[in-house]
Amino acid sequence: MKDINIVFICDNKFALPTGVAIQSIIDNKKSDNIYNIYILTDKLSEDNLLKLNKFNRDDIRIIITFFDSNNYESLHKYDKYAPTHVTLAALQKFEIPKLFPALDKVLYLDGDIIIKREIESLFDTEIENFYAGVILDSGRLYYTRENTSYIKDYFNSGVMLLNLKKMREDNISETLFEEKSKQTDFTLVDQDVFNIVFKDKIKLLDIKYNFLGLNLFREKNKFSITAINKLYNTSYKDFKDLEKNAVIIHFASKEKPWLYKNTRYSLLWLSVYKKSPFYDKKNILQNKKIKYETIFTNLESEIKLLKLLFKNRNKNIVFWGASLFLSKFLKKYHIKQKNILGIIDKNLSRQGELIYNYKIFNVSDISLLNPDCVIFVIKNNSNKIYPYVKDYLNENYSNIELLPNIFEVNE
């Protein structure tokens, strides 16, 4: 008999999904081994504490430790347009080696997961010479943020088998906080820092241990199973084969299954929830129906725009349209490219205004700016306005290239 050490970080908002995740771990437990489940929290109600402690039994130990996330306020600046739902509490991951000086290895798990199979094979993975066993972020199959594109093996920090002994030997906690203090991109709270600090001291594991099924299914037309197998050195027959063999499903996206009733895994999550101490017939969950066609339209366009900016990074660019979409995009991704000359807008009253450090110019100023290309960023009625802009540039500035319409559904 041995100890399997698992760590979660949660607050009142994430107590319910974390509890369901724990239930799924217990449901798939096959051995007599002791599962020590450590829950790090900065705030939990008495009710949530009671429910989490109900998991305690001879072979399941729930150990709850409190910390103060206010200590991390100076390390991260939240941008309201950033896509992350992660709180400052995530920075407590950096402290894990110090918090558990008697442990050599722990399995860290985000709370927005479901376990489909036993996890002892994952915990038993040999990582003696590495800081962690990790799984590559599958977002790399269809999207790469420019400021992390140089990281060859960019991994997702929601599932990490951590070698605490080696991390302590190399003072990694201090290094993580030091690197975080240098960060100027606040898109993600902790993931970039782990990737920068761990570098090549990681052991890459099978995608089945951190299967971002919702994200992959949504973007399935942008990659093939061959691309997945090449990236992860696996041999899955197709998406269904991968899905069937997944050990951990990670809901690292907006469509959380406890909120929406029509996600791909809503019924699976609900079946586990009903067995957990958190189940309450009066508490109506999954009371929303996600409209994929509207919620993810902006994300699709944002990805197209990021790709255009990267592809044309050596050309002088102007945006056409001082739109709300552009304003949110520039702030969300902290765009500060010197090759972007400004924004063209027909509204004379907005001339001279700044959108995230980029000045708004009138259409007549195109000749003065003399860009190499124009990126159209007006979402509303784009199918009608884009052809007009194209004709205008062809007639008056034939040397300026109008890049593809990022809002076109079938480009």
Instruction: Indicate the range of 84-88, 168-172, 217-221, 333-337 predicted with least confidence.
Output: 84-88
- Helices 324-332 and 297-311: crossing angle in degrees, nearest 10, is 70
8 Å CB contact between 69 and 89: yes
Q: Which pair of structure tokens corresponds to residue 71?
A: 């200590």
pLDDT given at position 117: 96
Beta-ladder partners of 171: none
Q: Which pair of structure tokens corresponds to residue 214?
A: 């919702």
Give the CA distances from residue 33 to residues 1, 24, 283, 376, in Å, rounded to whole numbers and listed in that order.
5, 16, 34, 59
**pLDDT class of 410 with cuts at 50, 70, 90:** very low
Beta-ladder partners of 374: 318, 402
Asked whether residue 58 carries a pLDDT value surpassing 90, the answer given is yes
d(CA 4, CA 28): 14
d(CA 104, CA 107): 11
Q: Hey, is 274 helix, strand or coil?
A: coil
Residues above pLDDT 90, as percent of the chain: 68
Within 10 Å of residue 346's Cβ, how many Cβ atoms? 12
pLDDT in tens, 128-147: 999 999 999 999 898 877 66
pLDDT in tens, 152-175: 999 999 999 999 999 999 999 999
> In order of start, what are the domains of the chain with their CATH numbers?
3-273 (3.90.550.10), 296-402 (3.40.50.720)
pLDDT in tens, 102-114: 999 999 999 999 9
| Non-local CB neighbours of 381 within 8 Å, separated by 6+ positions | none
Asked whether residue 85 carries a pLDDT value surpassing 70, the answer given is no
Secondary structure, 3-state, 341-370: EEEECCCHHHCCCEECCEEEECHHHHHHHC
d(CA 337, CA 314): 10
pLDDT in tens, 300-322: 888 889 999 999 999 999 999 98
pLDDT given at position 157: 95
pLDDT (mean) for 254-281: 92
